[in-house]
């Protein structure tokens, strides 16, 4: 990994790591331990520690057992690229420097920060139920954030590219797009507090949908910590909105043949014409309520803990282009990107709009600043009246833009109050 600050490489690091994580169960109680050594004596010590902790843990009557092995389980192709595994640090530095030079070819005074990295790994998963699997994968990415000053005026933006295979990685153009965006955000103004239409571009849409899917985590639902509790089978969004989880896409960013417990992955429709079809389960949450396991157990490296996460999210595109959508919007806001995601417990959104434009009479007229958006995600999703036909696609992932009607936005120094 390489990081850049103000146009200069500040940090270059290479990390080689190995280890093992163990979960052990005794009468439902779980014990977890990990080690960074694969020496036989350290592996045995780790296993014994996990078992001792399991015996000491409070019994859990909701624990049923570990998943059984699946037949004919095969990995998703094209998740490992030897060309990435063989990359030198010099190549990664060159990508970052070339990106900065590309940015400054658009604006010589641009101050560029960013990062680039490449990784390869191999892992194994085994369970006393008979599961025994191994896999390997690679990844590569580049992110650039230029800042442009015009006196006291400042414009900034970002762009990135990432992939599992070198042939899918396109570092050229990242610096140019980011700098063109930064120039567009010069001259930002505040707006009056108002209720208006908001068009969420693909990156902003990704934040909203990812927040929605996070709230569909079965563990959060079962603990009463999700606003989606009790809403499965209900229409929670406009009929225009369909969201799928697609883990089997070759070379997909989050693809895999099985989840973090060895359960076979399958494509799943999470939201079908606005109807919430399912929650995301691992084996524990599925067994707890006697439902089908959706194979969304997730792990962080070789750590022993198991959570719940989606894979490649895909939002079904619509029939109108983004340009046409803007042209038919008389008054509103276009949001390029930002951390616009809900509190998964309440479903409320209260977020600063970092990168957005004012729309007047069908045109983006000027960038906005110090502006907040306030809504309840359920109300926002039900107010969607258009999904764009053009979209941002990354390996396995698809996000179009969406338009929501009647959203409350506030200027600097104003508070947003949501009616209850």
pLDDT in tens, 247-273: 999 999 999 999 999 999 999 999 999
Looking at the chain, the whole-number percentage of residues with pLDDT higher than 70 is 98
* Percent with pLDDT over 90 in the chain: 92
CA torsion sign for 94, 96, 99, 103 is negative
The predicted pLDDT at position 420 comes to: 39
Alpha carbons 77 and 71: distance in angstroms, whole number = 18
CA distances to 157, 224, 278, 346 from 229, in Å? 37, 7, 11, 11
State both tokens at 357: 């434009």
One-character DSSP codes across 193-225: -EEEEEEE-HHHHHHHHHHHHHHTBHHHHHTT-
Prediction pTM value: 0.94
Residue 209 burial (10 A CB sphere; 0-12, 13-18, 19+):
buried
- For 382, phi then psi, to 5°, come to -75, -20
341 band by pLDDT with thresholds 50, 70 and 90 = confident
Length of the chain: 420
Angle between helices 174-184 and 89-106 (to 10 degrees): 40
The SS3 call for residue 371 is strand
Residue in this structure with the two tokens 């080690």, named with its chain if needed: 35
Q: Is 9 helix (H, G, I), strand (E, B) or coil?
A: strand
Q: Looking at residues 59-73, what average pLDDT do you find?
A: 94
Residue 51 pLDDT exceeds 50: yes
Report the distance separating Cα 131 and Cα 127, nearest Å. Answer: 5
* Residue-wise pLDDT tens digits, 232-246: 999 999 999 999 999
pLDDT at 413: 52
User: For residue range 75-130, what is the model confidence (pLDDT) as tens digits?
Assistant: 999 999 999 999 999 999 999 999 999 999 999 999 999 999 999 999 999 999 99
């Amino acid at each position: 990994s390489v990081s850049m600050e103000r146009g200069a490489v500040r940090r270059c690091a290479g990390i080689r790591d190995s280890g093992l994580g163990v979960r052990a169960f005794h009468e439902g109680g779980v014990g977890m331990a990990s080690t960074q050594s694969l020496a036989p004596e350290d592996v045995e010590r780790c296993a014994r520690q996990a078992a001792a902790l399991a015996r000491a843990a409070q019994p859990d009557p909701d624990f049923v057992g570990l998943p059984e092995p699946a037949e004919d389980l095969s990995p998703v192709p094209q998740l490992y690229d030897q060309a990435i595994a063989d990359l030198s640090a010099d190549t990664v530095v060159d990508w970052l420097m070339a990106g900065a030079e590309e940015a400054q070819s658009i604006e010589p005074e641009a101050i560029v920060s960013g990062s680039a990295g490449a990784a390869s790994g191999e892992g194994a998963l085994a369970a006393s139920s008979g599961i025994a699997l191994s896999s390997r994968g690679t990844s590569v990415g580049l992110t650039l954030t230029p800042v442009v000053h015009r006196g006291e005026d400042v414009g900034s933006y970002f762009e990135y590219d990432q992939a599992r295979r070198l042939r899918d990685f396109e570092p050229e153009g990242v610096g140019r797009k980011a700098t063109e965006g930064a120039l567009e955000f010069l001259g930002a103004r505040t707006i009056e507090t108002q209720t208006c239409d908001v068009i969420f571009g693909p990156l902003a849409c990704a934040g909203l949908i990812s927040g929605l899917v996070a709230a569909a985590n079965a563990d959060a639902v079962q603990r009463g910590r999700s606003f989606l509790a009790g809403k499965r089978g209900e229409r929670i969004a406009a009929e225009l909105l369909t969201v799928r989880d697609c883990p089997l896409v070759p070379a997909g960013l989050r693809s895999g043949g099985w989840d973090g417990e060895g359960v076979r992955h399958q494509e799943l429709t999470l939201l079908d014409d606005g109807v919430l079809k399912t929650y995301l389960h691992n084996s524990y949450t599925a067994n707890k309520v006697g439902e089908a396991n959706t194979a969304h157990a997730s792990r962080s490296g070789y750590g022993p803990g198991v959570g719940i996460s989606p894979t490649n999210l895909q939002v079904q595109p619509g029939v109108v282009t983004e340009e046409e959508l803007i042209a038919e919007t008389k008054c509103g806001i276009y949001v390029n990107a930002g951390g616009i995601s809900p509190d998964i417990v309440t479903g409320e959104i209260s977020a600063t709009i970092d990168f957005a434009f004012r729309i007047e009479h069908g045109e983006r007229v000027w960038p906005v600043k110090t502006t907040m958006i306030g809504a309840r995600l359920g109300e926002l999703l039900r107010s969607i009246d258009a999904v764009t036909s053009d979209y941002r696609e990354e390996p396995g992932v698809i996000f179009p833009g969406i338009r929501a009607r009647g959203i409350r936005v506030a200027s600097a120094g104003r508070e947003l109050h949501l009616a209850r």
